[in-house]
Structure 1
Amino acid sequence: MSELLPPPPPDLLDGAALFLDFDGTLVELAETPDAISVPDHLHSLLDRLGRALSGSLAIISGRAISDLERHLGPLPIAVSGSHGLELRTAEGQMGPVPAPATLAVARDEIRQFAADAPGVIVEDKPASVALHYRGAPDREADAVALAGGLAARTGLTVQAGKMVVELRPAGADKGDALRRLMAEPAFANKRPVFVGDDLTDEHAFVAAKEMGGAGILVGPSRETAAAWRLDDVAAVAAWLMAVTGGVRG
């Protein structure tokens, strides 16, 4: 599904569980992960959504949970970080974060590469390491080649995103996080709706569809498993604010 996806209807969240990506969905993308600006309305919006949905609200992000909370403060909702490798329920129960020994090798070589590549940023996470080249787009081919070579030698998996490559253990993605959260009591018997912008969100779009729900793509049209589309971060906020008052959990 790709061309001319319609906007999501106002009643899409009735009886739904809502899963939100962070970067490019709730906040605008920035040159570096630390350079984002969190909108003033976001905290109150998440609070209203959580109450309207009777707690069936979660953030599923590529960022580590600790990094999300550094920008948002303590999150009283379910949250998954590191593309599904971290998961914490609203009650504070944490899922395991596997960190294979080969990850240390990848971290060292990626840091060495970044040290000689101005504009390239290394983002360390509990069970993965990401290389951002938004500030040095001319190094994309080198970054992708480095990640591919490291994956072949270490057994890690390459996760590609918007101007970023990440090395991580195999076996978890945003779709897996959505499925695990849907087994929690707050989400049970709900229809999952996932909102995201990146290629890494496609796993969650597929999972939502398989479980009777749908995905909402944020940004320009492209090949996607999503059923609906919103233009940008501002459109996501406007839609969520518009539907919050009318949600029937």
Structure 2
Amino acid sequence: MSDLPPPPPALLTDASLFLDFDGTLVEIAGTPDGVVVGEDVAPLLTRLGNVLRGGVAIVSGRPVHEVRALVAPAALAIAGSHGLEIAAVDGSIAAPDRPAALDSALDSARAFADAHPGTLVEDKPFGVGLHYRGAPETGPAVTALADELAATHELHVQHGKMVVELRLPGRDKGAAVEWLMREPLRQRTVPLFVGDDVTDEAGFAAAAALGGAGVLVGAARDTAATYRVDGVADVLAWLDAACREMT
């Protein structure tokens, strides 16, 4: 594993930009609702949307409605729930029906959390997240429960940073990139995907397959990304510099 170079500002020229949220645009918080969005984030996203002619989207594990509220008043496309729901700039959302299997998995996850203080259940439109940042020792038990519930209810297991999520199969962040790249405004661009978590690897791979690149946020690791920055502050500084260079 060798380290990767930082992305140059010119990388955004003729690009469509896909941004993870937690750990990329904002620092990861102890709980999903504890995240703090910097006052510069929404204005920066608006500037990027103008410079890239609308070719900016957030691709997150969070539901669309949460991301939309967190980045308001910036208006941009959002792929939420790891690509299971995709919202256009006009607010229309393409999403599947929520299966009853998720409600059964949610009940089991809540029973587990009740018995293991420090764990937290996140009810999403198309997934169930079980966070164990507050009880790291429960990690193996959380993983075992997720594997059991996934087999029982035919759900997909998605591992993240101190969280295991059960969600509908068939989509990931890479599929979201492929979907959004079919839009006319992105036809003559190349995709750039920026993210920090293992869930973002599918986005890196999809961007590379379409002639673009990925930017890893955080410590060096084995990755499909081509570039790397150290943290959220570096992402925001790079995007700001790119905006300035293109205007």
TM over 0.5: yes
Quick one: distance in 1 between partners of 2:74 and 2:144? 37
**Partner deviation per Cα, 1:133-171 (whole Å, 9 max, x = no partner):** 111101101100100010111110100001000001110
Is 1:9 aligned to residue 4 of structure 2?
Answer: no
Q: 5 Å matches for 1:125-140?
A: 125-140=124-139
**Structure 1 residue 107, shift from structure 2 partner:** 0.5
Answer yes or no: is the 8 Å Cα contact 1:85–1:98 preserved in 2: no
Once the two structures are superposed, residues 80-108 of structure 1 have per-residue CA deviations (whole angstroms, 9 ceiling, x without a partner) of: 00001110111222112332221111010
Return the offset for 1:76.
1.3
The secondary structure found in structure 2 opposite 1:226 is coil
Are residue 79 (structure 1) and residue 81 (structure 2) matched? Answer: no
SS at the partner of 1:245? helix
Which residue in 2 is equivalent to 1:123? 122
Q: Which moved more, 1:95-104 or 1:126-135?
A: 95-104
Structure 2 residue runs of 5 or longer lacking an equivalent are none
Of residues 90-99 and 176-185 in structure 1, the stretch that sits farther from structure 2 once superposed is: 90-99
What's 1:197 paired with? 196
1:170 corresponding residue in structure 2: 169
CA distance in 2, matches of 1:158, 1:75: 32
Shift of 1:68: 1.3
Which stretch of structure 1 is more off in the superposition, 63-72 or 144-153?
63-72
> Which amino acid letter does the alignment assign opposite residue 197 of structure 1?
D
Equivalent position SS for 1:200: helix
Code of the residue aligned with 2:15 in structure 1: it is A
The normalised TM-score by structure 2 is 0.97
Equivalent-residue separation in structure 2 for 1:237 and 1:76 (angstroms)? 18
Please state how far the C-alpha of 1:213 moved relative to its aligned partner.
0.1
Within 5 Å, which residues of 2 pair with 1:177-196? 177-196=176-195
Contact 1:158 1:165 in 2 (8 A): yes
Deviation at 1:191, TM superposition (A): 0.4
The number of residues matched between the two structures is 247
Alignment of 1:149 with 2:148, yes or no, is yes
CA distance in structure 1 between the aligned counterparts of 2:235 and 2:80, rounded to whole angstroms:
21
The question of whether the paired residues in 1 share the 8 Å contact of 2:9 and 2:239 is answered with no
Letter in 2 for 1:72: V
Give the structure with the larger helix fraction.
2
SS in 2 for 1:186: helix
Instruction: Look up the SS of the partner of 1:178 in the other structure.
Output: helix
Report the identity percentage: 51
Instruction: Give how far 1:121 is off.
Output: 1.1
Which segment drifts farther, 18-27 or 94-103?
A: 94-103
Considering only aligned residues, what root-mean-square deviation do their CA atoms show, in Å? Answer: 1.1
User: Does structure 1 retain, via aligned residues, the 8 Å contact 2:42–2:72?
Assistant: no
More moved, 128-137 vs 65-74: 65-74
Q: Is the 8 A contact 1:52 1:245 kept in 2?
A: no
1-structure distance, mates of 2:153, 2:14: 44
- Corresponding position of 2:58: 59
1:222 Cα deviation after fit: 0.4
Match of 1:101 in 2: 100
How far apart in 1 are the matches of 2:84 and 2:27? 23
Q: CA deviation at 1:74?
A: 5.0
Structure 1 gaps of 5+ residues are none
